[in-house]
Amino acid sequence: MSEIGLKTATCKEQITHYQFQTSEEIMERINQNFEQATVFTLFKDTAKFGKYANRQIEYIENEQLEYDRIEEMRIFNPKKELYIWRENDHLKGRLREDNDETGTKETEYVISNLILWGTRAKTEKPGWTTLKEERGIEYTVPYTPKRIDEKHPLRIKIHTYIEYIDEIQASYTDSRFVEFTEGGE
């Protein structure tokens, strides 16, 4: 059955902002906040999915995390996300955690699913799947789907946060990746 319409939910959020000068500072912040997570990195010349575990980031192609090559990163799991972006010559970051026990502000968000390219899947090694599209796009994710085809794509669940201006107008103010999901008819 197809999903139609948007679903909303509420949570208590906690947001912390950072500035990074080195790759080591990025890894230190990841180590402090995550035990396991999925990683999406937009480098200057490529985009890669990876996974974080045992205090290190692993990409299928053994990519190195070089500060000067990073444009954006998302380190995420179902509870929180560290989003890093380049602003001029520096990297800034935002850690967003949805936690009703430790969160400080009640917030509303929209739950959506971003459909990823790839109607054919090939297991590269345990826990890693390469998705391919007839148009030629190909990339590898740290996830093993049960089924991938045109009617059952891989998705990334996204929470998009809402703020209200003068209790009248709603506006999207932030979003975070949550987890891979599978969908279909």
Instruction: Specify the pLDDT at position 174.
Output: 94
Q: Which of 105, 124, 157 corresponds to the end of one domain?
A: 105
Q: Which of 51, 77, 105 corresponds to the end of one domain?
A: 105
115 vs 182: CA distance, rounded Å: 9
Instruction: Specify the pLDDT at position 184.
Output: 64
Q: What digits encode the pLDDT tens for the residues 55-92?
A: 999 999 888 899 999 999 999 999 999 999 999 999 99
Q: Which of 60, 89, 105 corresponds to the end of one domain?
A: 105
Give me the number of domains the chain comprises.
Answer: 2
Whether the pLDDT of residue 118 is over 70: the answer is: yes
On whether residue 1 sits in a domain, the answer given is no
On whether residue 7 sits in a domain, the answer given is no
Strand order in the sheet with 120-125: 120-125, 128-132, 138-141
Q: Is the pTM of this model over 0.85?
A: yes
Q: Are residues 111 and 163 in the same domain?
A: yes
On whether residue 3 sits in a domain, the answer given is no
Average pLDDT over the chain reads 90
Q: Are residues 96 and 37 in the same domain?
A: yes
Which residue carries 């948007």 as its tokens?
6
Q: Are residues 26 and 51 in the same domain?
A: yes
Whether the pLDDT of residue 14 is over 70: the answer is: yes
Tell me which residue range forms the domain holding 132: 106-182
Name the percent of the chain in helix, strand, coil, to the closest 5. 10, 60, 30
Whether the pLDDT of residue 4 is over 70: the answer is: no
